[in-house]
Amino acid sequence: MQLNLGKLAENLITHGMLVEHDYGRFYMSELTEALKRVKNGDEESKLDLISNAIGYTNLLERHIAKENNAVYSFGAKNLSKEIMDDINTKSEEFEKAAEEKGTQKYYLDLLNKLDEKYR
């Protein structure tokens, strides 16, 4: 979109979406550090662990909704049919390659194990 739709798309992506990727990395960094502290016996860091997990979850939910409801629809309305067809083809190829490697199955199995363990 940035290459084909100019400044408006650049602002949407750079300031609206990529900033949130930085927030996500921050939450994960904080989660990792809090987990290390908890493993080392710092009981108070459990609060940091919980608050960063909740913050990351909320960020992901809002980010995905923005992608689905704003960014993708903006692209679909403003990019040419040829570009959209190319994006769809590449996305399908990417998903198929990941499926052949078992990527989706791996993460779905992991989620099911976590669900069973913590339900």
Residues 52/34, Cβ–Cβ less than 8 Å: yes
Nearest to 61, CA basis, from 87, 23, 98: 23
- Every domain of the chain and the residues it spans: 1-79, 81-119
Instruction: Check: pTM over 0.85? Answer yes or no.
Output: no
As a whole-number percent, the residues of the chain with pLDDT over 90 amount to: 83
pLDDT of 3 strictly over 90: no
Residues 17-76: pLDDT tens digits?
999 999 999 999 999 999 999 999 999 999 999 999 999 999 999 999 999 999 999 999
Residue with tokens 């408006």: 8
The reported pLDDT for the residue numbered 10 is: 87
